[in-house]
Structure 1
Amino acid sequence: MTAAIDPLLPQLASAAAHTHALGFVFDGRIEERVRLRVPYRDDLVGDPKSGVLSGGLVTTLLDHVGGLAVWTALDAFEPIATLDLRVDYMRAAEPGRDLIAEARCYRVTPSIAFVRAWAFDATVEDPVAAAQSTYIRTRDGGDRLGANLRTRDGR
């Protein structure tokens, strides 16, 4: 059975102006894991001498694939925002190779979603970077969180 979010994932992969400009492409879904690919391009290189892709590209890719993983877990598109993102860089990406990211949302609460993600150029077992992130669900949970914050500081 196809999930309700599945037909939207290819469009969501590059719907934002920056993800479109960076060339993000939906690369599939395996159960609860979602995958994005960035085809190698010279203009995405962070160090022209080595040909290694920009670290900012890696971070952006991990953040975006994390958001897709949240929508996959919810089986719906709803407003979310990155609350926290930690990226551990393990090695430089191989010059000339596409960058791939895979993410899984492993817990969803009424206000927060928790995600783990990996970026790699060959296999997920040899990652370029790994991420641990949280996303706030702004439709319901975010409104409650905002109300709690306003109550505490008197506004």
Structure 2
Amino acid sequence: MDQNAKDRIIDQFIGALPHARALGLRVVSIAPGVVEVAMPYDERLIGDPSRGVIAGGAVSALMDTCSGAAVMSHPEAPAMTATLDLRIDYMRSAEPGQEIVARAECYHVTRSVAFVRAQAMDDDRDNPVATATGAFTVERRA
């Protein structure tokens, strides 16, 4: 499958996921094995009403979706994947009112597993909101 076809599949995949639509996720960029996805600030996603901070679960969903898309964009990976393992380290709260952008890179693909690193950032690009590492399925077609 050529890269343009993979790009279209990723856009359609994210657009078709009910949770991605509910979170307002949009693809920012796609390159082979690397995807950026943005989540706008939304008061419905606040986890700390006193500070206006976005809930960690929304950040987790953003990073998982972006990571899966990075696997799908990798030249050696399939058009579809599923999360096997995702470890997220929350570094700090995102600034209220700011969009959060996740960038995920699929850095290694084996016969059955793809490995991903990701970061989520708000406007302060030097201090990530969260980092993640994950493993995703690779299903080869016969």
C-alpha contact (below 8 Å) 2:3/2:75 kept by paired residues: no
The aligned counterpart of 1:121 is 122
The aligned counterpart of 2:64 is 63
Please state how far the C-alpha of 1:74 moved relative to its aligned partner. Answer: 3.5
Please state how far the C-alpha of 1:17 moved relative to its aligned partner. Answer: 1.1
More deviation, 124-133/110-119: 124-133
Secondary structure in 1 aligned to 2:74? helix
C-alpha contact (below 8 Å) 1:81/1:135 kept by paired residues: yes
Identity %: 41
C-alpha contact (below 8 Å) 1:82/1:134 kept by paired residues: yes
* 1-structure distance, mates of 2:96, 2:44: 12
Q: Which has the larger radius of gyration?
A: 1
The aligned counterpart of 2:10 is 9
Matched, 1:27 2:19: no
Aligned pairs, how many?
Answer: 140
The aligned counterpart of 1:44 is 45
Please state how far the C-alpha of 1:31 moved relative to its aligned partner. Answer: 5.3
1:26/1:116 Cα in 2 relative to 1: closer, same or farther (>3 Å)?
same
The AA in structure 2 aligned to 1:132 is T
More deviation, 89-98/11-20: 11-20
C-alpha contact (below 8 Å) 1:3/1:75 kept by paired residues: no
Please state how far the C-alpha of 1:79 moved relative to its aligned partner. Answer: 3.3
The aligned counterpart of 2:140 is 140
Please state how far the C-alpha of 1:46 moved relative to its aligned partner. Answer: 0.7
RMSD: 2.1
* 1-structure distance, mates of 2:6, 2:130: 27
C-alpha contact (below 8 Å) 1:5/1:77 kept by paired residues: no
1:80/1:28 Cα in 2 relative to 1: closer, same or farther (>3 Å)?
same
